[in-house]
Amino acid sequence: MSYSDPTELGILACPGAEAFAEQVIRRLAGIYRRRFERKASALASRYHITPELVTRKINFANDCNTGMLFLPGPTDRYRPPQFKISARHTWFANGEIKTEILESIRGKDLYIFQDIENHQPVAFNDGSIQRVLSVNDHIFNLFVAIDAAMQAGAARINLVLPIYPYSRQHKKKGREGLTAARIGKMLESLGVDRIITLDIHSREIENAFDRLRLENLHASFQIIDKLMSIVDIGTEDMVVLAPDTGAVDRNKFYANALQKPLALLYKERDYSKVSRNAADSNISEMRLLGNVKGKTVFMADDMIGTGGTLIKAMKYLKEQGAEKVICAVSLPLFSGTAVEDFDAAYRQGYFNRIIGTNAIYHNELLKKEWYIQSDVTGLFAQIISLLHHNRSLSSLLDNRDVVARLIRRKMRHANAPTSNQDSVSTDSEGTHPDDEAIPYGPAISKQ
């Protein structure tokens, strides 16, 4: 197991995924540095030598193991692993694209990042061309990057796709395709070994894969951390509400964790209609199971697309007497006019806050008073590091204990006299400082 350079772990970002990949790389760098320091100090005390000598010995071993004469950099200091793989992405006049990998990746465990919902301008041709890409452009760019990595001899190709492409086309009615499953098969046939995603719309998608493994992460730890920074869970008269039947398991998890009652909004959808925006969605009828009158309602969904699902729900909840409405989503797509529609809904008092993760790039949201961003880069860094070293992920995938500890700690913090407060907080990004011992994923069995 390598704690410092050389590393076999490589991170390649497709155009539009650079910001998220950079942040994950920073998190990884922190994880590796802390591991190295722990290792050096443990070996120093075991062999009665100084940590400086341990560092030199590790550097010596790494220099012996490299195919080069020796690695550049100091011999007496920690040499942080360089995870980032440089690449050039070219946009041709006819709309074709090309990825060139600019350094050797032969034998690497490669993680290719792609954010298919980034609809801000992205850079090609060394920054000289900016293009706004559709979901389909991004998917094709991903295919091209995977093939480049395959041709260049990567040992293992992993994709980091916070949103799984076409995940809402996971079941068919009548003469429709099963596009979510087909995308997986295409990726599999290109040589992809694993996909890491966030809160996938339907777990059944992976039933279509032969070899490809899917790691489905959840952001419940990070979301609860943010939620508890805006409400006092101990005293708040709160109900957790599933905004539709597909969201029951997710919200049951939150209700159990927060020790609050669960309510359900039952919706009829007219699937002959495509939701165009929040005002023109395909929801035809709603019924509330549970009581929201005078209460704070917290509801979690996998994504906000047009916003139709949540805005309709929020308006209805207000009509039913809800005092405050707070929503959380893992995937804040905010398609079409969704940002303006949420602005309008906020002005009308339909909701108080939306918590969303930074797994989808949407800078505009950060300027909104009603939007709170939770950071999942630590979660992705953790999972990548565990996968790279073939270590168990179970503590990341079932985080009930960790969430319970977070809630207890935060509640103690809320009740503690002011002078004690610093000693019990999580770090500024809502993740626990000890990323070695504490996993980040949640324990939702099915979405």
Compute the least distance from the CB of residue 231 to ligand R5P, in Å: 23
Going from the C-alpha of 410 to that of each of 87, 228, 432, 436, the distances in angstroms are 43, 7, 12, 20
Compute the least distance from the CB of residue 164 to ligand R5P, in Å: 13
Give the DSSP H/E element, type plus range, for residue 386.
Answer: helix 377-388
Compute the least distance from the CB of residue 302 to ligand R5P, in Å: 5
Give the DSSP H/E element, type plus range, for residue 257.
Answer: helix 248-258
Compute the least distance from the CB of residue 234 to ligand R5P, in Å: 30
Nearest-angstrom CA–CA distance, 89 and 15: 7
Nearer to ligand R5P, 73 or 336 (CB): 336
Q: Which residues bind ligand R5P (CB under 6 A)?
A: 168, 246, 275, 281, 301-309
Q: Crossing angle of helices 400-415/248-258, nearest 10°?
A: 40
When CB distances to ligand R5P are compared, the closest residue is 305
Nearer to ligand R5P, 193 or 302 (CB): 302
Compute the least distance from the CB of residue 90 to ligand R5P, in Å: 34
Q: What is the residue type of 47? A: Y
Compute the least distance from the CB of residue 301 to ligand R5P, in Å: 5
Nearer to ligand R5P, 303 or 396 (CB): 303
The count of other CB atoms within 10 Å of the CB of residue 61 is 11
In 221-358 the beta strands, taken as DSSP E runs, fall at 238-242, 262-269, 283-289, 296-304, 324-332, 353-357
Nearer to ligand R5P, 172 or 389 (CB): 172
Compute the least distance from the CB of residue 240 to ligand R5P, in Å: 16
Query: What is the separation, in whole angstroms, between the first and last Cα of the chain?
Result: 34
Nearer to ligand R5P, 212 or 283 (CB): 283
Pairing of strands 262-269, 238-242: parallel
Compute the least distance from the CB of residue 173 to ligand R5P, in Å: 14
Instruction: Kindly state the DSSP code that residue 237 receives in the 8-state scheme.
Output: -
Nearer to ligand R5P, 168 or 391 (CB): 168
Residues 6 or more apart whose CB falls under 8 angstroms from that of 80 comprise 4, 5, 29, 32, 33
The full 3-state SS of 169-227, as one line of letters, equals CCCCCCCCCCHHHHHHHHHHHHCCCEEEEECCCCHHHHHHCCCCEEEEECCHHHHHHHH
